[in-house]
Structure 1
Amino acid sequence: MQSHPNVQAVQDALDAAGARNAAGAPGRVKVLDEPVHTAAAAAAALGIEVGQIANSLIFDADGEPLLVLTSGAHRVDTARVAALLGIGKVKRAGADFVRDHTGQVIGGVSPLGHPKPLRTLVDEDLGQYDEIWAAGGVPQAVFPITFAELVRVTSGTVASVA
């Protein structure tokens, strides 16, 4: 699974960005024994708090893709996000929309490694953790990163999204 094209794309993006984990080491994608399709499953597999999981959620924001990286402990308030961005409607994207814009499947969408950059919001509540974990392009791949690094490598905007 380490050689899956999506995992490699995420690792290449981490390398290109010079991403670092909480220990200051280069960011590395880790492949788990089993897929983790939810924040709770990922947290249990990693032995961490569910809030440390950075869910990568793709939304349809008036027809354009929007990536919201939110704490696994939260649900995105789409009305709040729409108001924040000054757009009409933000709705959860379907599987085809997600795959078309990320090249990845729901449950494995990474914050990076997409065919082209996506407009990105990063949940400010992720900032309370020294280390957070995000999906690595497939449901059984994850990687550790700090909040500041996540914001930097995604060119994300920090926001209250829950």
Structure 2
Amino acid sequence: MDDLKPASARVVAAAAERGLDIAISRFPEGTRTAADAAAAIGCEVGALAKSIVLMGDDGPLLVLTSGVNRVDYDKAAAAAGASGVRRADADEVRAATGYAIGGTAPFGHPSELTILADRDLLAFDTVWAAAGTPDSVFPLTPDELVRATGATVADVAA
């Protein structure tokens, strides 16, 4: 873990707090987009758990969605009990999660977030999530992802 960037080390520590022992993989070519990550990892784009930060009535909302899906804002708002949501800007993402866009991990945030998990992620044996930087990811099962994040599984796909 000594060679990990601080953001990735924070992800490993947060995973351990949740009973997970994760293995982070780094890809110098980057994993900023779902297509880039899938190509680098060698998995289906749908097996990527994209972290999308939205702003709602009660503050930030994290939506973990399948790499092939786009988030339907109305569905996400309804699942979170918000009257509406909008996409967070880069500063809001960093403030809410402690990570930059492209490397937003599903846990290890500075404070508790409402988290929704796209039900389409449950179709995969293994999903891949960002590990704090645009060039790092880690695998886990969908059940581990839901349990570790406390996410509510919902239909959030457009």
> Shorter-chain TM-score: what band?
over 0.9
Query: How far apart in 1 are the matches of 2:15 and 2:25?
Result: 12
- TM superposition shift of 1:3: 2.6
Paired residue for 2:18?
17
Query: How far apart in 1 are the matches of 2:101 and 2:58?
Result: 18
Query: How far apart in 1 are the matches of 2:38 and 2:105?
Result: 16
Query: How far apart in 2 are the matches of 1:35 and 1:144?
Result: 16
Paired residue for 2:131?
136
The 5 A counterparts of 1:50-69 are 50-62=45-57, 64-69=59-64
Write out the 4+ residue segments of structure 1 that deviate beyond 6 Å after TM superposition: none
The 5 A counterparts of 1:1-162 are 2-19=3-20, 26-62=21-57, 64-162=59-157
In structure 2, runs of 5+ residues without a counterpart are none
Query: How far apart in 2 are the matches of 1:152 and 1:63?
Result: 23
Query: How far apart in 2 are the matches of 1:4 and 1:58?
Result: 22
In structure 1, runs of 5+ residues without a counterpart are 20-25
- TM superposition shift of 1:63: 5.2
C-alpha distance after superposition, 1:73-92 (max 9, x if no partner): 10000011112333221110
Contact 2:58 2:82 in 1 (8 A): no
Paired residue for 1:22?
none
Contact 2:57 2:85 in 1 (8 A): yes
Percent identity between matched residues is: 47
Q: How many residues align?
A: 156
Query: How far apart in 2 are the matches of 1:2 and 1:31?
Result: 11
